[in-house]
Chain A
Amino acid sequence: MFLRWVTAAYLVYLVVPIALLLVGSFGELWLNTLLPTGSTTQWYVDVAKDPSFRRAFVASLAVVAITCTACVLIGLPLAYALFQTESRRLRALVRVLYQLPVALPPLVLAFGFILVFSSDTLPWLGSIWLLAAGHIVLTLPYFLQAVVADMQRLGLRVLEDAAESLGSSGRQRFMHIVLPALRHSILAGLIIVAALSIGEFQFSNLVAGFLNRTYPVVLLQAFYGATGFACAATVILLTLALVAAVGGALAAGGATRMKAAAA
């Protein structure tokens, strides 16, 4: 009974702010009352018409796409190499290294980026690619964690031994066994990566240039204006995060299946 109450209380705590945002985004006027008065969809139209929000929306999508792709391209081989490393000590060391960004505040990374990339030799501060590069560093640990844990759970090494004894080459093993067996954890990893990347604020706020601000960075501005506008803009971010997570995962899953089928 106690557990149920705790769960219920937690769910309320989780859902109420989102519900309020939804209500607020359709409310005409919300000043000093508990709930807004009147209803309208005008706030959404306003957000959609706002050029800086439109630009940020596209920038965020681009950053997520690049981040997810890079996580698969870098993360998968890395996870595979890490898993295949015989030396326990090396494995532990690499694990500590790739988990570092989790402990590191994104601020620190951003300061590093600003120092390095505002120089004349590397003047890339403010570009989409640099934003994505930072997001990759921040999200890769979560992707690796999901995939490496799954490799251990599946006993991938034995599966590979089996495939090898059955006559499969290294490339065939990767395409026939490793990729398809890991498809669930690759999807799960990408959902986390997409969700983190969409919502990332600290790093993006410092590193994004004026032209390539991501959605959360622009969103901050909305809170200086009308409540309804801010709520609508936030609801859009929530939807975007959901869509990006599911869409990114589905796309990657489809690609994995196609690659496996083609091999």
Chain B
Amino acid sequence: MTSLTMPAVALERVSYHYPGTQAGVTDITLAIAPGELVVCLGPSGCGKTTLLRLIAGFVKPDSGLIRFNGEDVSRLSTRARKCGVVFQAYALFPHMRVWENVAYPLRVRGVEPAERRWRVSDMLKLVDLTELADRLPTQLSGGQQQRVALARALVFDPRALLLDEPLSALDAATRAAMRDEIRRIQRAQNIATLLITHDQDEALSLADRIVLLREGRLAQTGSPRELYDGPKNEFVAGFIGRANLLDAKVIDAQTVDTPIGRLRTPPHGRVAGSALRVMVRPERIEVVSAAKGENVFAAQVLRDRFFGATRQVEVAAGNGRLEIETAMRDDVANVRVPRDAIQFLNAP
């Protein structure tokens, strides 16, 4: 591999289980390119944080290798790995001022005070905190603390940036702003980054690539669009975005029977009589006025929730139910399932 294509961080078949438990991660293979932002997504307890702790060196893999730029670091201590870590509750040192917190990694490395000063002030400028350099962490808002934590994790030119649920402690408004802020700073530093979250919106909007974990194993890896538009199984479909999942029986090459009625589908390549699962995203289902046409079903509204920009409507159609997301304000009487909105899934 040349240095151009060599991943900044690579995990090769890494497994780790907490002693005496089943919890941990199993057989994880993953690469983060230089400058890439990979988001590790999954429900709580799926091993996301374990993955971060493995890369940072807080725990050592039971098996498998961890490489930074090709170098095997699996047995190296946390200190020697030089990863910038931002913790969930920021872990700012409560007795140090903002600039002392940011200077700390330089101080323990014996960097000259003069150099320390300009590097800290550069970093504070990057995160827009120059004004607050003399504050104590308790005198800062959540978003400001977050930026101090970022500056502190980046000031010593780490080999990778690891963020553990960095936005979970913030209120909704700050979260959206901070999301863009993290992206901007990560771009400016052009550093390989792993961000842990359980929030799919965060993952979709931030990631170059998403790694979806389930019970310690990789469920699917890909760009946000790949995961949303081409989920491999029901778990992925249900975890990223919302999904209508229907049991279907194959009638012919492009027709299936479902609880809501007979559906014309793209070619699915299964033999007649076999069973499969059909997935349709709620926002792909159309509300139509005509009662006739391909894949049009009469619908009866069960629940109608108004969110301003969109409306979530649950309807009964045939013997089944569908969830619809639409911007239309009209009454819902007929719905159409476009043929190209239909996907086939393996069982979870």
Where the two chains meet, the residues of A that have a C-beta atom closer than 8 Å to any C-beta of B are 154-155, 158-159, 161-169, 172, 176-177, 180-181, 183
Residues on A with C-beta less than 8 A from B83 are: 165
A177 touches B109 (CB 8 A): no
What separation, in Å, do the CA atoms of A168 and B156 have in the docked complex?
12
Whole-angstrom distance between the Cβ of A206 and the nearest chain B Cβ: 43
DSSP class of A's interface residues: helix, strand, loop or mixed? helix
Most A C-beta atoms less than 10 A away, residue of B56, B85, B104: B104
A161 touches B87 (CB 8 A): yes
* Known contacts A158-B87, A161-B87, A172-B108, A166 near B94 by CB under 8 Å: no
Whole-angstrom distance between the Cβ of A235 and the nearest chain B Cβ: 38
How many chain B residues touch A (CB < 8 A): the figure is 22
B91 touches A167 (CB 8 A): no
What separation, in Å, do the CA atoms of A177 and B100 have in the docked complex?
12
B79 touches A162 (CB 8 A): no
A165 touches B85 (CB 8 A): yes
B89 within 8 A of A: yes
Residues on A with C-beta less than 8 A from B153 are: 165-166
**A167 contact from B56, B95, B108, Cβ within 8 A:** B108
B58 within 8 A of A: yes
A155 touches B89 (CB 8 A): yes
B87 touches A164 (CB 8 A): no
Residues on A with C-beta less than 8 A from B95 are: 180-181, 183
Residue of A nearest to B152 (CB): A166
What separation, in Å, do the CA atoms of A154 and B92 have in the docked complex?
11
Q: Provide 7 A-B residue pairs closer than 8 Å at the C-beta atoms, listed in order of the A residue.
A: A161-B78, A165-B58, A167-B109, A168-B79, A168-B104, A169-B79, A176-B104
A159 touches B93 (CB 8 A): yes
Nearest first, the 6 closest Cβ-Cβ pairs linking A and B are: A162-B91, A166-B105, A165-B85, A168-B108, A180-B95, A158-B91
* Known contacts A155-B89, A155-B91, A181-B93, A165 near B108 by CB under 8 Å: no
Other A-B pairs, 20, CB within 8 Å; known A165-B153, A176-B108: A154-B94, A155-B91, A158-B87, A158-B89, A158-B91, A159-B94, A162-B85, A163-B93, A165-B58, A165-B78, A165-B85, A166-B156, A167-B79, A167-B82, A169-B108, A172-B108, A177-B93, A180-B95, A181-B94, A183-B95
**Residues from 156 to 191 in B contacting A, C-beta threshold 8 Å:** 156
B84 within 8 A of A: yes
* Known contacts A158-B87, A169-B108, A164 near B78 by CB under 8 Å: yes
Residue of B nearest to A154 (CB): B94
A165 touches B94 (CB 8 A): no
Most B C-beta atoms less than 10 A away, residue of A166, A172, A183: A166
Whole-angstrom distance between the Cβ of B119 and the nearest chain A Cβ: 14
Residues on B with C-beta less than 8 A from A176 are: 93, 104, 108
Whole-angstrom distance between the Cβ of A149 and the nearest chain B Cβ: 16
Whole-angstrom distance between the Cβ of B245 and the nearest chain A Cβ: 40
What separation, in Å, do the CA atoms of A176 and B58 have in the docked complex?
20
Residues on B with C-beta less than 8 A from A155 are: 89, 91
Most A C-beta atoms less than 10 A away, residue of B85, B105, B108: B108
Residues on A with C-beta less than 8 A from B91 are: 155, 158-159, 161-162
Residue of B nearest to A157 (CB): B91
Residues on A with C-beta less than 8 A from B82 are: 167
Residues on A with C-beta less than 8 A from B89 are: 155, 158
